[in-house]
Structure 1
Amino acid sequence: MDQAVDQYIRFLRLKREIPTINYLQRLIQHHLTLVPYESFSKFHYFTLAPDFIPPLPLFVHNLVEKGWGGTCFTLNMNFARLLTELGFTCSFVRVEPGHLAIMVEIRGKKVYVDVGYGSPIMKPVDLEARPQHKMHGFGEEITITQTKDQLYEIDRKSNGKTFVTKQIIWEPLTEEEILEDIRQSYLDVDENITMRRITAVRFNGHQCFYLRNNIMKVMTFRNIQEIKLNSLEKWLKQIQDVYQIEEESLLESIDFLNKRKIVLFGA
């Protein structure tokens, strides 16, 4: 385990330090920059088991060797495992529908951490400090508002328009308590949109690269450029350039969707 933790930390271009809010913030920022949110690996893990979350050593191996990150369960569960190994106290929180985040307890505070939402939540958020928090980045505005005791609404807006709203249930959970949530996230049905489209997000300096199937948006603080990737060759090259994900898993994902009658390139 120590070897995997050291590899993970090296990949994040950081070193082991004592647990502090400042260190936690740097871990989050480096993670969002260097580890992609992507669904290619989710399709692969689904073929292994309908509730498979890679253990930390396998997660780190696939991150280093294949460029994989994951979706919310894989990213946040393994980031929490890393934080725990580094001396932080972590548990999980449901973000309904269909999402998972981390509660980190440090110096008497409980802070909200999320490296698995494909969003620029670049710092730990002390939810209990005030009734509303606002964050901005890459044309996105994120507002977290307390609605009831232990309940918060997280609203994401782009160009002033809400595109997703979820509810944070601010109660600590263990890995064992979220097993059913994991199984639900892998449901191989059309209603589970995560299993019916390709998504990848990476933050790189002043740019955010957002892939949805064969359209990539390049977002800065000032504008959005849309790139249509109309051929498989162009798609493969662009994704490898931006996300550094190996080709085999990209082709696997195309095949996964083809088998479910979702065709991105030709017949």
Structure 2
Amino acid sequence: MDHRSIIEKINTHKKQPNLRFRLKRNTEKFTDLLFYTLFDIETPVANSLDELEKQFDELVDLACWESDKPCKKVWENYVEQLPSVLESLNLDAEATVNCDPASLSIEEVYMAYPGFYAISVYRLAHELYKTGFPLVPRLMTEYAHRQTGVDINPGAQIGKSFHIDHGTGVVIGETAIIKNDVKIYQGVTLGGLFVAKNLQKTKRHPTIENNVTIYANATILGGDTVIGANSIIGGNAWITASVPAHSTVFHTPEIKIKTIPHV
């Protein structure tokens, strides 16, 4: 096969006319500047908002494939939400300081905690998700996922004072609902009980009520599953049905004592 034939065959199989990976890179740049604008004391807010608007216009050009959708109007509404997003994120940071005895300062939480970073990007992406802006919110949370190991779908609904400790391996699905003062640890999955494309428009992921703690590697599945308020879910628990308020759920390991040495 000659060089020209190879080029023709590759072009023949490049079937996605809207697949521009520049959108992914630009979204990551946009996400970084958003985060710095909200938190970094040396990043001027006014100048950054002007730059963010320019970057957002570029994202619109790349990602708004349906010309009848008013994507250009999204930015003004989005900027209006940033103060309340920042207020929520400050509560998340305070929750981490109050929950984690290893935290030395709130500055450490903002700069060094992967759970807090993942929550920050999620909250910023969620506001765009609610507008129906295509693809960009998912690229934002996937960027955070790649950096932290925490996978939060931008469609999830998360209340105030949310704390993720350690973070690696956490998965929170699109239709999950997490209410206020919830704490979760590494490896927790809030997932779907069944995987089928025809369930796309249904609630597939669990609801976590106020003041629930979910310890490492617990798996909670199903759109009808509700974890009642003030409950504690122990590590490695597997839950596919609702749990009443004020419950403690734990996994009981099987322990066998060796009777023959070195076996």
Query: Normalising to structure 1: TM-score of the pair?
Result: 0.25
Identify, as 1 or 2, the structure richer in strand. Answer: 1
Identify, as 1 or 2, the structure richer in helix. Answer: 2
| Larger RCO, structure (CA 8 Å, separation 6 or more) | 1
Query: Normalising to structure 2: TM-score of the pair?
Result: 0.25
Which is higher, the Rg of structure 1 or of structure 2? Answer: 2
